[in-house]
Amino acid sequence: MATYTLPELPYDYAALEPVINPQIIELHHDKHHAAYVKGANDTLEQLAEARDKEAWGAINGLQKSLAFHLSGHILHSIYWHNMTGDGGGEPLAADGVGDLADAITESFGSFAGFKAQLTKAAATTQGSGWGVLAYEPVSGKLIVEQVYDHQGNVGQGSVPVLVFDAWEHAFYLQYKNQKVDFIEAMWAVVNWQDVAKRYAAAKERADVLLLAP
Ligand code: MN
């Protein structure tokens, strides 16, 4: 029995038009995300086989593969729920997401400053990567991370709450080489209710690192 399974999309393929067209969503979920799920499961099997046979020749590649595929699965699972056809704007207390709005202001100085940093971090990824808003439990603040592939350039223990996929497969069929246009358009589909829920859950788990027992 597989450890990881591909989650269903919370909407149909056309739900995010015109920001993201249905063909991209279908390929992205059914092919790309599915491949990360399979990759994570396959790698766990190969590691189990290595333990059984005490054959460690491929250990470095397997550990890298596990981090890559598992992180790909996790980030995409968050990504689908971070978006909605009814999204956009900015988090407001009147919409019940005041805690998130306050945390963004406290952590970045202003919503505009946060938006500019995340847009820039996502749009300037070199090669493949993500722009991520994460809860950092040691400081108790939100930070922006510019992730390489799915797993590099990340602070240990930080919890992603809003993720922008900046891989070419996320936009190329529609935006061609204009990655910055895609990232700027993404703000119109952000599901702030979902981001606020993730922020609240991450904050609840803030003692998980136990740095100062
Ligand atoms: Mn992707």
* Tokens linked to 165: 């996929």
Within this chain, domains 22-81 and 93-208 share the same CATH topology: no
CA distance 91 to 213: 34
209 alpha carbon – ligand 1 mean position (Å): 28
**In angstroms, what is the span from residue 22 Cα to ligand 1's centroid?**
14
The β-bridge relationship of strands 159-165 and 141-148 is unpaired
Measured in Å, residue 131 CA sits from the centre of ligand 1 at 12
**C-alpha of residue 54 to centroid of ligand 1, in Å:** 34
pLDDT, position 213:
59
Cα-to-centroid distance, 166 and ligand 1 (Å): 7
Nearest to 15 by CA among 93, 83, 82: 83
Taking the domains of the chain in order of start, what are their residue ranges?
22-81, 93-208
Cα–Cα distance for residue pair 102/92, rounded to 1 Å = 9
pLDDT confidence of residue 1:
74
Distance 9 CA to ligand 1 centre (A): 14
**Candidate CATH numbers 3.30.9.10, 1.20.120.530, 3.40.50.2300, 1.10.287.990; the one for domain 22-81:** 1.10.287.990
Whole-number pLDDT of residue 211: 79
125 token code pair: 């990824």
pLDDT at 158: 96
Residues of the chain with pLDDT under 70: 206, 212-213
Amino acid (1-letter code) at residue 106? E
Q: In the prediction, which pLDDT does 39 show? A: 98
Distance from C-alpha of 213 to C-alpha of 82, rounded to nearest angstrom? 34
pLDDT value of residue 209:
80
Task: Specify the pLDDT at position 83.
Answer: 98
Query: Residue 27: what pLDDT?
Result: 98
For residue 112, the CA-to-ligand 1 centroid distance in Å is 26
Sign for the CA dihedral angle at 84, 86, 87, 91 comes to negative
Note residues around ion ligand 1 (Cβ under 5 angstroms): 165, 167
Q: What are the φ and ψ backbone dihedral angles of 58, each rounded to 5 degrees?
A: -105, 15
73 Cα to the center of ligand 1, angstroms: 9
Residue 140 CA to ligand 1 centre (angstroms): 28
Q: Classify domain 93-208 by CATH architecture.
A: 3-Layer(bab) Sandwich (3.55)
Distance 210 CA to ligand 1 centre (A): 32
Taking the centre of ligand 1 as the mean of its atom positions, its distance from the CA of residue 173, in whole angstroms, is: 13
Measured in Å, residue 204 CA sits from the centre of ligand 1 at 28
CA of 70 to the centre of ligand 1 (A): 13
